[in-house]
Structure 1
Amino acid sequence: MAAAAAVVTGTATTAAAQPLYPIPDPDPFYAAPPDLERAEPGDILGVRPMPPIMAFPDTAVTMVKFRSTNSAGSPIAATTTVLTPRGHRPDGPLLSYQHIINGLGSKCAVSRVLYTSDPNLQVREAVALNAVLARGWSIALPDHLGPTFAYGAAKLGGLITLDGIRAVRKVGELTLAASPVAMLGYSGGGMATSWAAALAPKYAPELPIVGAAEGGVPMNLVKMTEGLGYQRHPVFGLALAAAIGLEREYPKQLPVSEYMNPLGLLLRDQIANGCTNEILAAGAGRSVLDLANSTTLVGSPEARAVVEENSLELFDGTPKMPIFEWHAPVDALIPTDSIDNTMHRYCAAGVTVQAELFPSPDHLTTAVLGIPSAVNWIDARFRGEPAPTNC
């Protein structure tokens, strides 16, 4: 549902309403330094060791702050958390894992969730990540929504992912300077992963990325917005969160708050710092018509351009690395034809693509079914085996 950015509707009756940004994290480590503009993408802005995490035994934890770039091309400070297993060898494999983040506030950051009892991390993610750590790989977990938690801004996630990889390879004590790198992510994490793969040839061509595994990726936010339309939906909260997040990243092109009615502003304020459960509860069963001032969506060229800019199916760049892609044949949350179209375009451009279907009852089950195959595919890339293709 990641792009009901077109919640902008009708004529504005609340023209004074401005984007609502998240409360800044109280930890000063997350803050941008005053000389940020002097740093280059991927430059280290801060490093600190972190306490052990119960879910990952025998693993050292390091947080790295680095300079990245937002959707407008301006410098931002971003963070990533590196897990280093006891069995790590200098210059051993590095996996950048883009976690699923359905959130608008700092408490939703992966670097924060790692130290909570979040069931998604402890049950689903920890099992997969511990299997990776057991192989001796280091894992980077970027906070890929950026400092304003611009949920829905898919291209931003790709930029932060690449700069996070750049940064951790520069931290001497992590001994990753010559490490081969792979990327993995599903759903929202798959958005960041797939965009990083597509942007890498021009944005970070120096990175030795051996492959990217991406699953359940929302690859066309225009289709998702049009598919949602005016109907009520049980997970409409995610669409509302995407509208709020995209407004934070594109406040002039997509002034969502100006076009919300009082209920819309109330719900916006309610979830502005919320994570998955709060967002889903607030938006359950609602629709665009409940929150906006008109019965018709505005055909704003500027608003549509934002949604198109974050739709990978419409992006003309292609990866140079091998791609492993998986999804369910039918997925109630995402248009799978957009995935198929994008993979066909990659194949036509000469990209080595292995695309797999995993019949599944729902979106998240597909993640669980596909991750073992994705990890084994990445392992083969780290071993230098030629990537298979079913283009």
Structure 2
Amino acid sequence: MHTIAMRPLATAVATALAISAAPVSAAVAAPPAPSTAGSDDSFYTYDGGRPLSSFAPGAVLKTRTLPYHVVGIPTPVRAIQLLYRTTDAQGRPSAGVTSVVRSPGGDGRKAVSYQSAYDSLNPADGPSRAIAGDVTLGGLIPNAESLVLVPLLLQGYDVVIPDTQGQNANFAAGPEYGTNTLDSIRAASRSPETGMNTGTRFGLIGYSGGAIATHWASVLAPGYAPEVNRRLVGFAEGGLLVAPAHNLKYVSGSLVWAGVIPMALIGAARAYDIDLKPYMSGYGLKVYKRLERGSIINVLGQYPGLTWKKLAKPQYADPNSVPGFVEAVNKLNLGSAPTPTIPGFIAQGNGGVLEGTLSNLPGIGTGDGVMVAGDVRTLARQYCGDGNKSIKYRQYGLLSHAGAAVPWAPLAMDWLNDRFAGRTPPSDCGRIPAGNSLAPEKPASSF
């Protein structure tokens, strides 16, 4: 019954990912000019008299209620948007934005935090901007994902949709995704307008870029937000980024996903104030400048055959010869992060050869076209070994990144429904095949 009821969710997620995964062009082309939609919206700026650092993480700084927009068209659904205090990738106080939609049949006791796969280096592409009515090319994914709300709201769940990448849109900076998500839950629980409180239970769900936020929130919660962790029923995710250094090798030279390489480099460098430009070739600098405000829409299928070597100067052909690269990817490696204490459902496709990614790389193996299946298996096994036996793992051997979202979505929501109902979480511990080493990257030897 749940599976049938949640088919609209599967369709919504699959639609959004199909939009993101469709090759836009076979040639390297300049993307549209970065959008400035919403750039003059004062709601996003903290302008209070007290220092931002004087507020506790999750403190509500501003509140507004507006119509929920889809591709710029207002709907009868109302969204409550909160500006709240959070923490960036370097531990500094920052301001984040989240959107809350109340269920007409809900009572404030259960909610789902939905992490969007908007994957952009442009703050204008965030879900809150799309909800507020701004229309951008990179905002197509949050607009498509708006369909996700319908089945969730009908089941009595309030829905919280954080701008997980922060107001600088630091793509791929997982720890920042995690703190933004956790502080969004804190803010939603503290705002009288949302109908939720510190007793509201939450489930976490997200695919692809949304899985990055979902997973980092689950691993950071025990230490960063223990009072939130106690209210989390579990996390459900698919298409997870585990060890970025592996992914950059895996997508190198691919037909569809190679353009993610510069996007991830820009996002990680921006999050940690690392200057990678001195190591880049003339061509690499052009790509860097072109994509500083680009989105996933601007890269898929548009950089076929792109590699790290094409972006870097010859003496830096090995990415591990760049100190900033090693520093960043090790901070983003989930293999070195804490083990979550809540139940998890982790799904992963393994049919990436269909999207023009090499089928098998030494030490990397196979994946869904952009995410490495062996990394995800190792992470799930690691959690089982660390004592979290409530891990369900599903691998779709013939499905690519976009394709795996279709069977994952209804199973993920069914799984979360069971967690809210208090049913014993299923476990695949002891049945998950071996994967890759998730050891930190080491700097290349100097010559």
Interval of TM-score (by shorter of Structure 1 and Structure 2): 0.7 to 0.9
Deviation at 1:42, TM superposition (A): 0.8
Give the distance between the partners of 1:175 and 1:135, measured in 2 at CA.
16
Instruction: Kindly provide the CA deviation profile for residues 351-391 of structure 1, in whole angstroms up to 9, marking residues without a partner as x.
Output: 11111223443201211220111111111111222212121
Give the distance between the partners of 1:184 and 1:299, measured in 2 at CA.
36
Give the distance between the partners of 1:265 and 1:38, measured in 2 at CA.
39
Q: How does 1:228-247 map to 2 (within 5 A)?
A: 228=251, 231=253, 233-247=255-269
Deviation at 1:302, TM superposition (A): 4.4
> Which residue of 2 is the match for residue 138 of structure 1?
158
Deviation at 1:237, TM superposition (A): 1.8
> Which residue of 2 is the match for residue 28 of structure 1?
42
Give the distance between the partners of 1:285 and 1:301, measured in 2 at CA.
25
Asked if 1:292 is matched to 2:312, the reply is yes
Higher relative contact order (CA 8 A, sep 6+): 1
Aligned partner of residue 63 in structure 1, secondary structure: strand
Give the distance between the partners of 2:395 and 2:86, measured in 1 at CA.
34
Deviation at 1:67, TM superposition (A): 0.8
Deviation at 1:86, TM superposition (A): 1.8
Query: What amino acid does structure 2 have at the position aligned with 1:244?
Result: I
Give the distance between the partners of 2:186 and 2:155, measured in 1 at CA.
22
Deviation at 1:28, TM superposition (A): 1.2
Asked if 1:323 is matched to 2:344, the reply is yes
Aligned partner of residue 26 in structure 1, secondary structure: coil
Query: What amino acid does structure 1 have at the position aligned with 2:242?
Result: M
- Please tell me the root mean square deviation across aligned C-alpha atoms, in Å: 2.3
Asked if 1:222 is matched to 2:245, the reply is yes
Give the distance between the partners of 2:156 and 2:84, measured in 1 at CA.
25
2:412 to 371, 374, 379: 374
Deviation at 1:211, TM superposition (A): 0.6
> Which residue of 2 is the match for residue 273 of structure 1?
293
Asked if 1:358 is matched to 2:433, the reply is no
Aligned partner of residue 399 in structure 2, secondary structure: coil
Asked if 1:62 is matched to 2:85, the reply is no
Instruction: Kindly provide the CA deviation profile for residues 237-275 of structure 1, in whole angstroms up to 9, marking residues without a partner as x.
Output: 211111111111112xx3112322333222222222222
Retained in 2: the 8 A contact 1:267–1:282?
no
Deviation at 1:318, TM superposition (A): 0.7
Deviation at 1:113, TM superposition (A): 2.8
> Which residue of 2 is the match for residue 346 of structure 1?
383
Query: What amino acid does structure 2 have at the position aligned with 1:306?
Result: A
For structure 2, the 5+ residue unaligned runs are: 1-33, 352-367, 430-447
> Which residue of 2 is the match for residue 79 of structure 1?
97
Give the distance between the partners of 2:195 and 2:272, measured in 1 at CA.
37
Query: What amino acid does structure 2 have at the position aligned with 1:385?
Result: R
> Which residue of 1 is the match for residue 128 of structure 2?
111
Give the distance between the partners of 1:258 and 1:40, measured in 2 at CA.
38
Give the distance between the partners of 1:350 and 1:174, measured in 2 at CA.
35
Aligned partner of residue 402 in structure 2, secondary structure: helix
2:225 to 174, 198, 204: 204
Retained in 2: the 8 A contact 1:185–1:214?
yes
Q: TM-score, normalised by structure 1?
A: 0.87
Query: What amino acid does structure 2 have at the position aligned with 1:220?
Result: A
Deviation at 1:64, TM superposition (A): 0.8
Aligned partner of residue 113 in structure 1, secondary structure: helix
1:182 to 203, 212, 217: 203
Retained in 2: the 8 A contact 1:238–1:279?
yes
Query: What amino acid does structure 1 have at the position aligned with 2:44?
Result: Y
Deviation at 1:52, TM superposition (A): 3.2
Asked if 1:49 is matched to 2:49, the reply is no
- Determine what percentage of the aligned residue pairs are the same residue: 27
Alpha-carbon distance change, 338 to 176 in structure 1, aligned in 2, over 3 angstroms: same
Instruction: Kindly provide the CA deviation profile for residues 253-300 of structure 1, in whole angstroms up to 9, marking residues without a partner as x.
Output: x31123223332222222222222223365344322333222522524
Retained in 1: the 8 A contact 2:114–2:204?
yes
Retained in 2: the 8 A contact 1:313–1:339?
no
Q: Which of 218-227 and 197-206 deviates more?
A: 218-227
Deviation at 1:40, TM superposition (A): 1.2
> Which residue of 2 is the match for residue 314 of structure 1?
336
Give the distance between the partners of 1:22 and 1:306, measured in 2 at CA.
28
Q: Which of 96-105 and 321-330 deviates more?
A: 321-330
Alpha-carbon distance change, 232 to 335 in structure 1, aligned in 2, over 3 angstroms: closer
Q: Which of 102-111 and 282-291 deviates more?
A: 282-291
Retained in 1: the 8 A contact 2:257–2:369?
no
Retained in 2: the 8 A contact 1:184–1:214?
yes
Retained in 2: the 8 A contact 1:67–1:163?
yes
Retained in 1: the 8 A contact 2:256–2:301?
no
Deviation at 1:301, TM superposition (A): 4.3
Retained in 1: the 8 A contact 2:100–2:159?
yes
Query: What amino acid does structure 2 have at the position aligned with 1:370?
Result: W
Aligned partner of residue 41 in structure 1, secondary structure: coil
